[in-house]
Each structure stands twice: as C-alpha cells, then as structure tokens.
C-alpha cells in the first residue's frame, strides 16, 4: 500500500513536523503534505489544522485539493479519515486528514468494458444455402399435405353426391310403391 494514501501516517507526519519546526511553518507543512498525497494518486485530500496557529487566538486552517465526498455512504465507508494532535508551547493543535483514494469507485462512475462488445455474426454463403434448402423442404411438405386434404375433400364430396343420388332413387322407388299402395287401398275401399 502507498504510504501517501494512508490518512493515519499523513496526520502523524504533520503532527511530528509541527512539533519539530513549530507553528511558524504550518502553511508549508500543510501544503507539502497535501501535494504528497495527491502525487501518491489520491482523488482528493483535505487537511484541517486547528489550534493556536499562528497567534494567541485559536483558528482553523483548511488545506484541500481534488475531489472529496462529504456525505453519503461513500464518505462514511470509502473516504479515509484520521485525527491526531501535536503538543506545542502555545497549546495543543488538532490535525484532521481526509483522503479519497483512487481505488474508490463512485456510484456515478460508469465504465464500459471494451472487451465486451457486440460481435456481429457473419453468415457464410454455405449457411444461407442450407437454410434455403430447409425452407424449400418445409414448403414442399406443406404443399403435399394441402393436396392430400383437397383430394380427400373431393372424395368426400363425390361420396356425398353418390349417397344423395341413392337416396333420391330410393325415395322415388318408395314414392312409387306408396302410390301403388294408396291406389290399391283406395280401390279396396271403393269396392267395399
């Protein structure tokens, strides 16, 4: 792991430098630490030094560079934070360091994988010929089925016509017999 991306190490380095060199050089120490973190590859950094610097009255000095998330889940889990203190003659100075590492992936950062691109299928002429042959076979089978159904329908129609003719013949024979019977009955009734 890169030393410049660890918030604990950076805050301790700033505290040690302030104790060694005093409060007169606090701006140089803050800017140097900030540039070291950015050069290490961080997306953003914030250093807050608070205490009796440079005078007898307490103040907060903020050094920041880059992009740093301040709210949301990313700021709680992803941003590295550290607090340390430096004991000076004038009093205690607090150092807060927040670093957003480059390994952190933001929810709005969308990256497309160049390896996963749509590959268009090239159809060879042989494949096209095979597909055409299969379609022709299917069409021929359907046509033969339709012809068989038409032949069956014609046979059924012919059979119906034959049956009708037989019924007509039978009906005409029965009608003739009925006439003969009615004539005989009428003759018998008349003779009585």
pLDDT (tens digit per residue) in 100-145:
999 888 888 888 777 765 555 555 566 677 778 888 888 888 888 8
Range of the domain at 90: 3-100
Query: Do 91 and 134 sit in the same domain of this protein?
Result: no
Residue 82 domain flag: yes
Domain of 33, CATH number, reads 3.30.1140.32
Q: What does the chain come to in residues?
A: 192
pLDDT top residue among 164 and 1: 164
User: Does residue 147 have a cis bond before it (omega within 30 degrees)?
Assistant: no
Report if pTM > 0.85.
no
- For residue 23, what pLDDT is reported? 86
Cβ atoms 44, 100 nearer than 8 A? yes
Residue 64 domain flag: yes
Question: What total of structural domains would you count in the chain?
Answer: 2
Q: Chain centroid to CA 157: how far?
A: 61
Kindly state the average pLDDT of the residues 77-94: 94
pLDDT top residue among 173 and 47: 47
Residue 109 domain flag: no
- Best CA proximity match to 15, nearest among 79, 98, 92, 99: 92
Query: Do 25 and 94 sit in the same domain of this protein?
Result: yes
């Amino acid at each position: 792991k890169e030393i410049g991306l660890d918030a604990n190490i950076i805050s301790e380095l700033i505290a040690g430098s302030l104790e060694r060199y005093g409060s007169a050089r606090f701006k140089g120490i803050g800017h140097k630490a900030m540039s070291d973190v950015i050069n290490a590859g961080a997306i953003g950094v914030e250093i807050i030094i608070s205490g009796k610097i440079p005078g007898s009255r307490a103040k907060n000095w903020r050094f920041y560079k880059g992009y740093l998330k301040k709210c949301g889940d990313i700021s709680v889990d992803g941003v590295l934070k550290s607090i340390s203190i430096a004991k000076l003659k004038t009093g205690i100075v607090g150092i807060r360091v927040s670093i957003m590492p480059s390994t952190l992936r933001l929810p709005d950062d969308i990256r497309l994988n160049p390896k996963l691109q749509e590959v268009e299928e090239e159809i060879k002429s042989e494949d096209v010929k095979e597909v055409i042959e299969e379609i022709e076979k299917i069409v021929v089978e359907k046509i033969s089925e339709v012809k068989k159904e038409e032949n069956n329908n014609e046979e059924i129609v012919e059979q119906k016509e034959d049956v009708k003719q037989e019924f007509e013949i039978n009906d005409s024979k029965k009608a003739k017999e009925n006439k003969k019977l009615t004539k005989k009955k009428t003759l018998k009734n008349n003779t009585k």
